[in-house]
Amino acid sequence: MVFRALLLIIMVFSSFVNKAGQRAPSQEEVIRNIVFMRSEGLSMTLLLLDSSEDRILLDIGNRVKSYYEWTQEETLNLCKGKHLNLSSDQFDLLYSRLQKSLVSGGKKSQYDYLQIYNDHITKNIAYYMNLLKDRKYDEVTYFSLKALPELFNIQQEVKLLLQKVESKK
């Protein structure tokens, strides 16, 4: 089931990657991708906080939740005045798939959750770095610059926790 969750995450992010030869995404498409990435990450975090009793996982979950809260106002500013073609059904489907993979699939190990977080954060960082490299949309570039430092910090923390867990095996 952990691999299904990872596969779902990879599938969601693969839809965000601009394939060679395709037109560049519009600003609304880029922002919609950011909203979906954030929704996926926040949903994973809320599911983790609701289902885990592991102190280490709860600590990292609370750190990630704080990141989303801290960047929420900037996200709303990024979306303001944009027509993103988002529906609550899309978010419900995302949440139910994550719930099925992460919670209903049986008890996950500390390592499994940390690996899922690491993969998700790594893909977020790669996406934001590409947006910075492109510098196509000023608002998106600013948002990426603001979001990335804490993502790097969280990534380092997750990697350290993964190393600790691996060394105990």
- DSSP structure string for 17-33: S--TTSPPPPHHHHHHH
CA 120 to chain centre: 5
Strand ranges (E), the chain: none
CB neighbours of 66 closer than 8 A, spacing ≥ 6? none
pLDDT band at 70 (very low <50, low <70, confident <90, very high): very high
The answer to whether 117 and 87 have CB atoms below 8 angstroms apart is no
Has residue 147 got a pLDDT over 80? yes
Torsion of CA 78, 90, 110, 119, to 10 degrees: -60
Domain map (residue ranges) of the chain: 2-7+26-168
- What DSSP designation does 165 have? H
pLDDT at 3: 42
Has residue 13 got a pLDDT over 60? no
pLDDT at 11: 47
Higher pLDDT, 143 or 22: 143
Q: Which CATH class is domain 2-7+26-168?
A: mainly alpha
d(CA 20, CA 127): 15
pLDDT at 27: 87
pLDDT tens profile 18-61:
445 567 888 889 998 999 899 999 998 988 888 888 888 899 99
CB neighbours of 63 closer than 8 A, spacing ≥ 6? 154, 157
